[in-house]
Each structure stands twice: as structure tokens, then as C-alpha cells.
Chains A and B, each alone.
Chain A
């Protein structure tokens, strides 16, 4: 987990505020992902990036945007936070050279609460 870091780890904000969650990795992986996890549900993909110039929407991208500033950095923004975006957010990376397995390595998560 130390190879993939997320900041902040916890954040409480109000409805309508703009929030940025940051992810950094030292694994040298090209692929990065943002997921959210809600109680009783599986992780759901928000956005993914296969390299700095390749960004793709996932299953639940509405209300979110991302920026891939460098190979090592992938940020998730909530332009105008709403209460149902309260969740645990995970960043993950994977190595395309192992595309047949594509194991993802997850960060420790950011717990976001929108009041």
C-alpha cells in the first residue's frame, strides 16, 4: 500500500463545495484508476487512465472529473459535492506489461463525507 498514496485520508465537506482527492504512486505503473466503495456494494469504477494522454469514463463518472498530471499522479475532483457522493474512494494502479493478469494495487482509501 505504501507504493500508492492518497491524500487526504479523511475529508468532511459541505454540499456544493469543490473537492479534490489526490493519488500518487511510486510503482512506475502506467495505468491508474479511481473507484468508490459504498456499504454493501462492490467497488465501482469512476475513471481510469492507461497513460498520461488516455483518460476514460468508468461506470459512474457523472459528477466527477479527473486529471492525470503525470505518470505518477492521478487526481479526482468533485466539482460540486452532493451528499450521495459520501463514500470511500480508492485509487489503484496496474502494470500493462502484465496485461494478461493486470493485478491492481490499491491505495489506502479516502473517506469522504458530504454534509
Chain B
């Protein structure tokens, strides 16, 4: 069964600090991996997407990495802001792109 596991489940950091969120997956065959940000009470919004051949993708202060060999991805947030407080969800697409597997998310809280 395809699975996506994220760690940590929750994280609290101070404003201005950096943090890294982890995603491990067993989805096969692999098509692509996305990171979504979900603010409380809202739907997820796409941050980055990476295909098999991409190792790194940046979107402002967000940088995602992908190691397709070890089936691991990370999302690094630089110089965190209060508005970064949200759930970050890793989503892996199976080869046909019809099947998505969602991680349960990492709840990030940024404190002033």
C-alpha cells in the first residue's frame, strides 16, 4: 500500500528561525511530489512540485529537496514568519498521476 509519512507531527519555533520538515514515502511508481500549505480553516495551497529528475525546488523562503533513491523529501523554511504557521502536507503522485497519496501533515507554529 502506498504511504506517505511526515515528521514531526508538530513543531513550534520562534519567529526568524529556520526549520526543516520531513517526508518519507513508499509510493511506486513515482510521478511527482508536492508540498502544500494549509492555513487553519482553509484548503491546501501548492508550494512546490518536483518530478523524479529534480533534487531541489525553491519558492521564496521555502526550499524543497527530493532524494528519489531513498524516497525522502524535505521542506526547509528560512527566516520563519508568523504567517508560516500552518499545516504542511506532503503529497506523492503515483506513476499514472491518477492516484495521490497525502501525508497527515506537520503542524508548524511560529511564535513571536
Contact = CB atoms under 8 A, between A and B. Distances in A.
A11 B46 CA distance: 27
Contact of B100 (A1, A4, A45, A106): A45
Given A42-B103, A42-B105, A102 B97 contact: yes
Interface residues of B, number: 21
Contact of B43 (A41, A44, A92): A92
Interface residues of A, number: 22
B72 interface: no
A42 to B, nearest CB: 3
Contact of B102 (A44, A100, A103, A107): A44
Interface of B: 4, 32, 34, 41-46, 49, 51, 89, 93, 97-98, 100-105
A-B pairs, 9 with minimum CB distance: A106-B43, A42-B102, A43-B102, A42-B104, A103-B46, A106-B44, A101-B49, A42-B103, A90-B43
Interface of A: 1, 4, 40-45, 48, 90, 92, 99-109
